[in-house]
Chain A
Amino acid sequence: MTDTGDGDAVIRVRDLTVGFDGAAVLDRLSLDVMRGEILGFVGASGAGKSVLMRTIIGLVPKRSGLIEVDGVDLGAASPRALRAIERRWGILFQQGALFSSLTVRQNVQFPIREHLRLSGRLRDEIALAKLDMVGLPPDVADKYPAALSGGMIKRVALARALALDPDIVFLDEPTSGLDPIGAGEFDELIRTLQRTLGLTVFMVTHDLDSLHAVCDRIAVLAERRVITSGPIPTMLASEHPWVKSYFRGKRSRAGARAA
């Protein structure tokens, strides 16, 4: 089964094949991400979730298939059009990927400095505002990433991803490595920001709580394609063995209730 939901798709992936050295990691995969939704993307470790995300944002070359963002075919777009698209998305990498030689403030300002011509005062104010939005106090602004905790690094990375007010945000395992309370707060933050800023969120995750708490829709990657997609009830009703053990296994909410 492929995921071809109707409606206003911001990201449209059709028959995408990606592979390294012979073996295909993704095979004729199709997926839509709707405007204004939070899509949770799940799959076994090593199934290729991050590969799909990295292919969409252009870090991994595709073998064949179509990737459209807002109706623009990324494979055929001019470098100029591509830059315009890239400016409209923000990416939170799994380890944060903060520039370790820059302070938190400079990290958040980096995309602003490169893409917009703003006065120094406005740049500073916006950077601090973004930090405020992700729930960080202003005194972290002049610290270096090495001095931050894992949760703070994720927040700063989110602030940097949001620096240019993107429409689409890609999150690669945003809550991994956070304690349950921190992860819960981060989920809440993503939900709030998504509402106030009208974001479309593509979230690769393993966190069942995140999936339940914030995702509007979930897509499952297995056997090198999206085998099913839909809201939580659809997942719970699925009879696919992997989906069943993922959402109704021992560690799931349903499983915990049964125990």
Chain B
Amino acid sequence: MNGGPLLESANHDGRLALSAGGAWTAERASELERLIERVIARHPRVDGVDIDMGGVERLDTFGAWLLERLLRALAAAGGDPRVVGLPDRYHGLVLQAHAFNREAPAPARTSVFAAALASIGRNVEAVGTDLVAAVTMIGALTAAMGRAVVRPRTFRLTSLVHQIDRVGWRAVPIVLLITFLIGGILAQQGLFHFREFGADIYVVDMIGILVLREVGVLMVAIMVAGRSGSSYTAELGSMKMREEIDALRTMGFDPIDVLVLPRVLALVIALPCLAFLGSMAALYGGGLMCWLYGGMSPEVFLSRLRQAIDLQDFAIGLIKAPFMGLIIGVIAGTQGLAVKGSAESLGLKTTDSVVKSIFLVIVLDGALAMFFAAVGL
């Protein structure tokens, strides 16, 4: 039953006689292919061939195709091959194999160099289309906002509240925890190095200014991009894949109005709140570290903090937050709606969404820092 495939050749008065046997099946296809190629290579010219399939115990599509390949090669060598003794139950299969691969197209292969160039070209083009898509999205959001102002009844308030709950309220614990730890780490590092110069007290200045102006809002924005931006993209993308977005359109709703606007607005509202809470947690973490690790009493920390910072530092930090929320929302929405049919595309766009929004958030932060420095704030 499980004998390997056999193919023996002999010469009978000028005609080549091949006798086949054993299992011509998928498991043995690799052995069988070698046997067949050997026969083909050994007989570049033949006059007549008889293939006796009587000894074949089992034959499946793999075997049938390899027999067909042998027949075609022998026919090309002038052999006019004949199959004899084929068991009846395999007639249909061999007949079907006769039609296989008659018009097989060669897989298109291009050179590595051309492929690399094409890939660079596609990436450059992708940057352009991304830019256009983001600008289009901002335009569409502005239009949607305008419609909502003109006809407030069409605005999805419930959805907005739900989204604020999702991206704002539910993010509070993790945001507090991480910013608290970062405040503590900043303070510990500051104390460790400033102590050498006897400048312990300036750690408070550093923490105050750094946290309020930059780190608080930036860390929170990055966390929100990873936590909520990705979920927006995945959500919108799978809705696109399952034609839910098309369904909305056909019912006369603009998906931007219904899906994107409430989500973006929720981020614009939630991010300043989270940034505020995060900054406070970071200051608290810093203060606690100064007390426990640096031996600085809370009274000293607070009075020094009051001298080191003013309302302006606080305002500069928080004014950036809504813009960062807008960037995250616009990128998440654009990438989500750009998802195509495949699961891979959903994964790619979700990654893109997080990477691009974090990148842009940092670019915005840097640009604004330079701007505020230039105008002397």
A-side residues, CB < 8 A to B, are 100-101, 105, 112, 116-119, 122, 124-126, 128-130, 132-133, 138-139, 141-142, 144-146, 162, 164-165, 195-198
Contact = CB atoms under 8 A, between A and B. Distances in A.
Given A118-B30, A125-B69, A197 B103 contact: no
B101 A122 contact: no
A132 B345 CA distance: 29
Given A100-B343, A100-B344, A116-B29, 16 more contacts: A101-B343, A105-B107, A119-B33, A122-B30, A122-B33, A124-B104, A124-B107, A126-B61, A128-B100, A128-B104, A129-B65, A141-B105, A162-B61, A165-B26, A165-B60, A196-B96
A126 B105 contact: no
A118 B29 contact: yes
A154 B226 CA distance: 37
A162 B97 CA distance: 15
Contacts of A130: 61
A132 B102 CA distance: 10
Contacts of B29: 116, 118, 122, 126
A141 B107 CA distance: 9
Nearest to A100: B342
Contact of B342 (A126, A145, A165): A145
B99 interface: yes
B89 interface: yes
A197 B33 contact: no
Instruction: Please classify the interface of chain B as helix (H, G, I), strand (E, B), loop, or mixed, using the class held by over half of its residues.
Output: helix
B342 A133 contact: no
Contact of B62 (A126, A138, A144, A146): A126
Contacts of B99: 132
A133 B30 contact: no
B244 interface: no
A142 B107 contact: yes
A165 B92 contact: no
Contacts of B334: none
A139 B104 CA distance: 8
12 contacts: A101-B343, A105-B107, A119-B30, A119-B33, A122-B33, A125-B101, A126-B29, A130-B61, A146-B342, A165-B62, A197-B60, A197-B61
Contacts, number: 82
Given A122-B29, A122-B33, A195 B61 contact: no
B17 to A, nearest CB: 25
B228 interface: no
A126 B340 contact: no
B367 to A, nearest CB: 37
A4 to B, nearest CB: 28
B243 to A, nearest CB: 13
Contacts of A196: 92-93, 96
B341 interface: yes
Nearest to B348: A101
B89 A198 contact: yes
A239 B344 CA distance: 51
B357 interface: no
Contacts of B60: 165, 197
A196 B344 CA distance: 37
A105 B104 CA distance: 12
A125 B61 CA distance: 11
A146 B30 contact: no
B108 interface: yes
- Most B CB within 10 A of own CB, among A101, A125, A197: A125
Nearest to B64: A129
Contact of B33 (A118, A128, A162, A195): A118
B25 interface: yes
B27 interface: yes
Contacts of A164: 26
A56 to B, nearest CB: 22
Interface in B51-72: 60-62, 65-66, 69
